[in-house]
Amino acid sequence: MTMFTQYGPPGEEAWEGDARERYADACVEHLARYAPNVPDAIVEREVLAPPDLERIFGLVDGSIFQGEQGLDQMAFMRPSPLLSQYSTPVQGLY
């Protein structure tokens, strides 16, 4: 089983000591409210916090989206002849 939880604290200091295990315990405890047999079925686990994801996979702050996902970066705001909603003082530069 894989449990992916998003929005964990990004900084290394948030994951010092037993913080990874406490976070994983809290996640499993929450899941057990809906699937009571899960905790007893866990044989082994590995907890990768955002700093681990950054170190191992190069994901800045552990973000699976590879950076900011602001509204200005979404499809309808991206440069396109039909969809472009912005321009710069330099003609043809977006």
Please write the tens of the pLDDT for every residue from 13-43.
889 999 999 999 999 999 999 999 999 999 9
CA distances from 70 to 5, 56, 65, 75, 78 (A): 20, 25, 11, 11, 11
Q: What is the pTM of this model?
A: 0.66
Task: Give the 3-state DSSP-derived string for 23-36, with helices as H, strands as E and coil as C.
Answer: HHHHHHHHHHCCCC
Residue 57 in this model has a pLDDT that exceeds 70: yes
| Other Cβ atoms within 10 Å of 18 Cβ, number | 10
| Domain boundaries of the chain, sorted by first residue | 12-66
Q: Which band of pLDDT confidence, cut at 50, 70 and 90, is reported for residue 44? A: very high
Phi-psi region of 66 (alpha: psi -120 to 50; beta: other; left: phi over 0): left
